[in-house]
Amino acid sequence: MSGILVYALHHDGAFNKNSLGAVSEGARLASELGTECHALVLGEAAGLPDELCASLGRFGATKVFRVEGPEGLAQPIVDAMATVIGDGGHEYALFGGGLLGFEIGAGLSARLDAGVCMEVTNVRVEDAKLVAERPILQDSQVSDVHYASGVGVIIGRLNAFEARESGDADAVVEDVAVEFAPHSLRATMVTRGEQRGADVNIEDADILVAGGRGLGKAEGFEQLEALAGALGGAVAATRAVVDAGWFSYAAQIGQTGKTVSPKLYLAAGISGAIQHKVGMQGSENIVAINKDANAPIFEFADLGIVGDLNKIVPRLTEAVKARKGG
């Protein structure tokens, strides 16, 4: 057995960044193992032209298995991955993470009786085998996970793997016919879209203005939208405000949300709980506004402002606009 099979999610004629990161990581590991990285894409035939599938070659996939079937649902993808692994003898299946990656990876490991590790932030080669590194105990320690079973399933933490173009070679595209299990076709996709905070992909934004419960109410986000607009950034949120329905889940940062590393992370009315910190601690500069001088966020902020955000944020917005000649 050899080879790494990566699932690549696409939507509207493009692969998502998380999947491209997984393909890049698969290619890096395959090269260290002296094997190949293959990708699997699944969808309606019309939405998967040769050029799109072959473009995964630029991220290091040597072959792309194209499967015609219902797009964006976990079980058909489990069927397809299991079929290709059964035929090709891949030793590892790699996913970029996110809700769909978790669901497919878990289903695949159950189907193949394979070992699975989720929330992986790094993978290394040791004695010609892959070892997955997974943060534990609220990200304070890293555990090593070795695979004892025939196939190892690795599910990354969302965006843990960087998308890297490694050349301009096209991948070979091979069509595979998959017989889907009846239960896999019982769920149907009613509608599909992409939810983004303030129409900007927060994972790509250089500047994030994040709001927490200190905003007091959903309307409190309006002042953050104004500041983010002046700075040319996007708005993010804590779980507390997402759970309260004040802001979209797509913008949630933290353990159960997204991991970001912008140049500037401005946190307003955020206490700095460990579950939030793990999603933004990689930011280059952290600025915190909090009325409580003892708030935990001040322990890891580069610049702390103690005061009422309702007074500071509007003045900051005016100052930024004035500085930019607005």
Ligand X SMILES: Cc1cc2nc3c(=O)[nH]c(=O)nc-3n(C[C@H](O)[C@H](O)[C@H](O)COP(=O)(O)OP(=O)(O)OC[C@H]3O[C@@H](n4cnc5c(N)ncnc54)[C@H](O)[C@@H]3O)c2cc1C
Binding piece for ligand X, criterion CB under 6 A, among 3-11, 60-68, 156-164, 291-299: 291-299
The CA distance from 108 to 153, in Å, is 8
Q: Per CB under 6 A, does 275 bind ligand X?
A: yes
Secondary structure (DSSP) of 105-164 = HHHHHHHHT-EEEEEE-EEEEETTEEEEEEEETTTTEEEEEE--SSSEEEEEPTT-SPP-
Q: Per CB under 6 A, does 257 bind ligand X?
A: yes
CB of 236 to ligand X, least distance (A): 9
CB of 77 to ligand X, least distance (A): 26
Q: Which is nearer to ligand X, 13 or 216 (CB)?
A: 216
Q: Per CB under 6 A, does 240 bind ligand X?
A: yes
Q: Per CB under 6 A, does 212 bind ligand X?
A: yes
Q: Per CB under 6 A, does 239 bind ligand X?
A: yes
CB of 295 to ligand X, least distance (A): 4
Of the residues 82, 290, 301, 317, which one makes contact with ligand X according to CB under 6 A: 290
Q: Per CB under 6 A, does 254 bind ligand X?
A: yes
CB of 274 to ligand X, least distance (A): 7
CB of 292 to ligand X, least distance (A): 4
Binding piece for ligand X, criterion CB under 6 A, among 61-69, 107-115, 227-235, 263-271: 263-271
Tell me the chain's radius of gyration from C-alpha atoms: 22
Quick one: which H or E segment has residue 242? helix 239-243
Q: Per CB under 6 A, does 159 bind ligand X?
A: no
Q: Which is nearer to ligand X, 76 or 304 (CB)?
A: 304
Q: Per CB under 6 A, does 28 bind ligand X?
A: no
In one-letter notation, the amino acid at residue 96 is: G
Q: Which is nearer to ligand X, 190 or 293 (CB)?
A: 293
Per-residue tokens: 308: 């009422």
217 CB burial (10 A radius; 0-12, 13-18, 19+)? exposed
- CA separation, residue 262 to residues 31, 128, 202, 207, 296 (Å): 30, 35, 9, 6, 20
CB of 239 to ligand X, least distance (A): 3
Q: Per CB under 6 A, does 270 bind ligand X?
A: yes
Phi and psi based region of residue 4 (left: phi greater than 0; alpha: psi -120 to 50; beta: remaining): beta
DSSP classification of residue 229? H
Q: Per CB under 6 A, does 3 bind ligand X?
A: no
Q: Per CB under 6 A, does 66 bind ligand X?
A: no
Query: For the stretch 150-170, what's the b/e string if a residue is b when 16 or more beta carbons lie within 10 angstroms of its beta carbon?
Result: ebbbbbbbbbbbebeeeeeeb
What residues from 214 to 233 belong to the interface with ligand X (CB under 6 A)? 214
Instruction: Name the nearest CA neighbour of 210 among 230, 231, 234.
Output: 234
Q: Per CB under 6 A, does 273 bind ligand X?
A: yes
Q: Which is nearer to ligand X, 160 or 253 (CB)?
A: 253
Residue nearest to ligand X (CB): 254
Longest dimension (CA), the chain: 63
Is 167 in contact with 123 (CB distance < 8 Å)? no
Per CB under 6 A, residues contacting ligand X are 212-214, 238-241, 252-257, 269-271, 273, 275-276, 279, 289-292, 295, 308-310
